[in-house]
């Protein structure tokens, strides 16, 4: 796996870390619902309606250098298949293997663009929370602490 130093992306990690309080609060809960109004069930497929903070987090993540469209390669290289595998990979990640964290973040951010439940699943299962927390820990360990300003 190529070397990817998270400390080079400190500003991006800081921006995502501002969502940590919200991610902690929402972990284990549903952050989306299906729109079923106006008789949509009769004429169309229901579509998800997300909390605005989730949409802000996803948009913020998309605008960082942390998203890797080649994330399936990292998943196959490390034999990541389940949430348990993801959490183990998150725990093992360090300053030189930040690509693992980026791959996991990317799977859910990019995958949620076509699979409506992935963003909600990543919040409910605590995946976004674990990834951003670990990124923050790594950056702070190597580059000093930063103040987290909570997102709206």
Per-residue pLDDT tens digits for 28-50: 887 776 666 665 556 666 667 78
39-76 CB burial, b ≥16 within 10 A, e <16:
eeeeeeeeeeebbebbebbbebbeebebbbeebeebbe
pTM: 0.86
| 148 within domain boundaries | no
* Averaged pLDDT score across all residues of the chain: 85
| 19 within domain boundaries | yes
Given CA atoms 69, 73, 74, 79 in this order, what sign does their dihedral have?
positive
| 37 within domain boundaries | yes
| 136 within domain boundaries | yes
| 13 within domain boundaries | yes
| 138 within domain boundaries | yes
Q: Which residues contact 79 (CB under 8 A, 6 or more apart)?
A: 85
**2, containing H or E segment:** none
Query: What total number of domains does the chain contain?
Result: 1
| 150 within domain boundaries | no
pLDDT at 142: 77
Domain that holds residue 122: 6-143
pLDDT at 96: 79
Q: Are 67 and 105 in contact (CB under 8 A)?
A: yes
Measured distance CA(15)–CA(60) in Å, rounded: 7
């Amino acid at each position: 796996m190529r070397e990817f130093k998270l400390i080079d992306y400190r500003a991006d990690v800081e921006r995502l870390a501002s969502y940590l309080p919200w991610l902690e609060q929402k972990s284990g809960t549903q952050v989306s619902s299906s729109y079923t109004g106006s008789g949509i069930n009769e004429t169309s497929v229901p579509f998800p309606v997300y909390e605005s903070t989730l949409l802000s987090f996803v948009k913020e993540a998309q605008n960082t250098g942390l998203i890797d469209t080649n994330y399936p390669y990292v998943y196959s290289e490390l034999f990541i298949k389940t949430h348990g595998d993801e959490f183990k990979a998150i725990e093992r990640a360090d300053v030189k293997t930040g690509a693992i964290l980026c791959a996991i973040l990317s799977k859910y951010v990019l995958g949620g663009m076509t699979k409506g439940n992935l963003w909600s699943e990543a919040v409910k299962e605590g995946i976004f929370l674990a990834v951003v927390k670990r990124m923050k820990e790594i950056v702070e360990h190597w580059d000093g602490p930063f103040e987290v300003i909570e997102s709206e």
